[in-house]
Structure 1
Amino acid sequence: MAPNNQNTKSNKKKAQKEPSAQELWETFPEALRRAIQENSMTQFDEAVKNVFTETPEILRKQCIQAGFLNEGTGNFSTLEDIKSQDMLSHFETNSALLEQLSELQGSTEPFLTEHPHMAAEHTVNWLTIAALSSAIDKNEEKLAALSEKCVVFQLFLASATGQKQFFKKFEVSENLDEVKAFKSRMRSRAQAKGEKPEKINLNQGTVDSRQFLEELKQLENLKKTEFAVQNYNKLVIRGDRMVKEFLIENPELLTEEAIKYLRILADTYSKDLNAKKCTDVSKKLTYILHFLTKKMTVAEYFVDLLAADSVKEYNDIWLVELRKMKQMMVDYKKARNPE
């Protein structure tokens, strides 16, 4: 009996080590990804031969297990195809539970205790589109309930704590703010879709996976934009001494998109004839404009900024920006008080 037990344990370990489709895809070189996307067995074999010369059969087996290669037909599926198939399978298998969850009143903790497998990314996706449908219908009560459930599931999946600990910690202002932000994104997207937007039918067997995934992509882009705008505003109110640390911690702000947003902000402050805020914006705008002329990291940039030549470059850019904002304020003032 002992050897059998050991074999069972060994098989379990092997099963646990099998990579997911996402993990496997991330290991693939570009040539292999292209072969799968173009559904070319010839390119696939060539890529395997060139890159995975030692273990081609292992790789082929992993591709079959992960769903990239259909052994019977010889056809390939992309990562998006696999995700789409998994998502639709989750919807179909759990359609009754998803509907039950959407109508659930109060805490979702008992529901998760009874159905732990529902704590999944696909459940979050379903709830997100259900919330968007509520926003389109202007059903604020259902939007509020679905938004909270969606944020609960998102945070729960990202949390390393146990279920009981998580639900005790959820009712804090930061998490409730995220619920408000989520509702705001749903309303914004519903408005962007027009007066008579096309909704996604969430009933069993009628989900258009491509439309569904495209809508999720649009909502994710909206979330990223919203997050970026929050950080742009945080940057503007930072004092001069805190700008360096803030930009080192948030290097993603040093982009052309940030420049566009700060210019819009500068225009708004110019209309209000608020010289102090225009000056604050111009300083932060100059950091980004100056940084983008350099080929270095943020930390290296701030070291470089200690040099006299770099300081002169910064000041030259800043003076140009200040003159622009001063001229905008003059123009807006004239427009208000024409002679």
Structure 2
Amino acid sequence: MELLPSAEPVRLIEADGTAVPRRVLPGPTELRAAYRALVLGRRFEQQATALVKQGQLAVYPSAHGQEAAEVGAVLALRPTDWIFPTYRDSVALLTRGVDPVEILTLLRGEWHCGYDPYVHHAAPQCTPLATQAPHAVGLAFAAQARHEDTVALAFVGDGATSEGDFHEALNFAAVFHLPVVFFVQNNQYAISVPVSRQSVAPSFAHKAVGYGMPGVLVDGNDAAAVLSVVGEAARRAREGEGPTLVEAVTYRIDAHTNADDATRYRPDEEVAGWLSRDPVARLSAYLTNSGQLNVDVEAAIAAEAEDLAADLRTRLVAELPPPADELFAHVYHRPTQRLRDQAELLRAESEER
């Protein structure tokens, strides 16, 4: 088993939309589905960012520029496989079929999770760095014990690779040969800390060697390459060959969140260079040049994206504040006496007003 990643990221489509020679690409149906998901994801990103500026969201961690990594990773899995997203992986949830309003409920500060994880096989978005990695490993451990045909994929940022939970998760998964894919989105910065200050390893994918699992480096702005690489990692996991560490090299075009000023730590020239590698434009150019995408289909997908944004605006703005007693819902399966006392105190105070 080859453990070391390639020196250069796996790439199937160049930045200008031309296919890399002697490479096998996913089929037309898969690529068109990826293009649709990219367009919807980009429009969702734009709308969510606008909603923050309008005061409808408390915060929004943008994934503009990273959409191909999230879309490709999710589409490479089966609907019955589980994903463990971070706070920046809203596009992954959208691709999984989660209602856009339910995705943004967390970022309005109303619920810790606005969707049913069991319906979508998607864990709640995780804000603490890397804590979702052991969760993914735990689910995979249970699936293996039950002889279930399930793969768990843990989304991880480059900053999270410096956390102890990340290393513990990789070690446990490797020792027990678990069906897990660790998917590191290397967007070059952990808030303002560049990759060079996180690690001096040749790549994050190289870290897999220390745990006895293969590491793969992939162009995270190439949806076709991500589909292919994560699909192979999922196949390995499903067939009992153990975990894989995949590093998707990409870039966060926008600031860390609306509370961040990215101009303080990265130059405009760097951002401009990555804009030329835009994942949506890349796949669009390839599909158009190969005759798999025409003007009518492109217009229909764009219109669908606008409908999604309009529906999101309407429903999110129209939502009433949640009832105060929801503070106590789903905290425990069986509420403690202290929690019941607090709920009763809130009800009594509300009646006095």
On whether the aligned pair clears a TM of 0.5, the verdict is no
Return the TM-score normalized by structure 2: 0.24
Which structure has the bigger radius of gyration?
1
TM-score of the aligned structures, taking structure 1 as reference length: 0.25
Structure number with greater CO (CA < 8 Å, separation at least 6) is 2
